[in-house]
Amino acid sequence: MTITVKLFAQYREGRFKEAVLEYPEGTCAKAVIAALGIDTSPYPLGVLMRNGRHEVEEVMLQEGDILSLFPKVGGG
């Protein structure tokens, strides 16, 4: 299945801003994060969105979904 993945902030470093990628049917967002080699220990996942809606990492993706990944940000 084809998924559009959008990365933000530190998750883009050494990767991409947006890409259309192929994954097997039944792939969850957590598997995509692992496949991209995103280490969430220095930059924990802040927001995960599927088609513009907040979701959990275990959400099952479907053909044509847009997955957006944002690390937690701090400051003030």
What pLDDT digit, counting tens, does each position of 29-69 carry? 999 999 999 988 888 999 999 999 999 999 999 999 999 99
Q: How many angstroms separate the Cα of 13 from the Cα of each of 19, 24, 36, 39?
A: 14, 25, 12, 11
Q: How many angstroms separate the Cα of 8 from the Cα of each of 24, 55, 61?
A: 24, 16, 19
Query: Does pLDDT of 24 surpass 90?
Result: yes
Task: Confirm whether pTM is higher than 0.85.
Answer: yes
CATH of domain 2-71: 3.10.20.30
Query: Does pLDDT of 75 surpass 70?
Result: no
- At 43 the pLDDT is 85
Every domain of the chain and the residues it spans = 2-71
Query: Does pLDDT of 72 surpass 70?
Result: yes
